Amino acid sequence: MKILNGEELASFIKERQFHVVRGMAKKPKLLIIRDSDNPVILKYVNLKKQYGEDIGIPVEDFCAKSSDEIREKILSANADPEISGIIVQLPILEREKTDELTALISPEKDVDGLAPNGDFDSATATAINWLLAGYGVDLAAQKIALVGKGKLVGAPLYRMWTNSGFDVSLFHRGDNLSNLRGFSLIVSATGSAHIITNEMVAPGAIIVDAGTASEGGVLVGDVADEVRLRNDLSAITPRVGGVGPLTVTCLFEHVIEAANK
């Protein structure tokens, strides 16, 4: 069974980014806006801050006290020429305001690819594309299931892959997931711990776990441990170091591109 190691691919791209940023006359800057100290959110914010430091891009971490404060920060950052990219770290506390707030981000600064008509594709969706391409997975030859319809992964991947003419079906976490057994590639991003179990996965399948949840203070994915113990799968992402590292790498690739524009 092949392990889809995103860290390995990310390290090569990160080295190139370091040299690119070092050669830039004006350094890019990323702003992260959040409204929570949730451990999952803090984990990803800190990963981005460390990555930025490693390649020479300053990252501002702003914790808002309300959705109005998120709005004000986005609008001021849109007008700030020093800020190349803006992301709202999801989920925010008032989830019903997610679309309204992310739509305020200027298209040229929407480096996470969340706003409508932005200049960039979703960073997480692009990272999954990079990961599968890096390991030689021919998407045109797969029957693909996307589990989770969220704006970070499921929705943008479905749009990207259907536009490319691939055979893709979209599932909600409340659907009958036993039907996943008929698919050769399963990408799950529901944030529901261990939702993908053995009976849902056919022998020879490729599994990409892009979900993150907190279970008793421990970060876990969508894929149950019993699936990871199997030796009849074609490929699977590891518990740690699959999609996540490449998502951060892709995000900073967008920041660099935004600064160059």
Residue 207: what pLDDT? Answer: 98
- Segment (H or E) for 61: strand 59-63
CA gap 75, 61 in Å, rounded: 16
Q: Which residues in the chain come in under a pLDDT of 70? A: none
Torsion, Cα 49 107 9 13, to 10 degrees, reads -80
Cα dihedral 113→115→118→120 (10° resolution): 0
What pLDDT is attached to residue 163? 95
Q: What residues have CB less than 8 Å from 85, skipping those under 6 apart?
A: 28, 29, 30, 31, 109, 110, 111, 251, 254, 255, 258, 259
Q: Is the pTM of this model over 0.75?
A: yes
pLDDT at 116: 75
Q: Which domains does the chain have, with CATH numbers?
A: 25-109 (3.40.50.10860), 123-238 (3.40.50.720)
Q: Are 254 and 22 in contact (CB under 8 A)?
A: no
Q: Which two tokens stand for residue 150?
A: 């969220």
What is the Cα–Cα distance from 120 to 118, expressed in whole angstroms? 6
Question: Is residue 146 a contact partner of residue 171, using CB atoms and an 8 Å limit?
Answer: yes
Structure tokens at 200: 């849902």
How many other CB atoms are found less than 10 A from the CB of residue 43?
A: 14
* pLDDT, position 9: 92
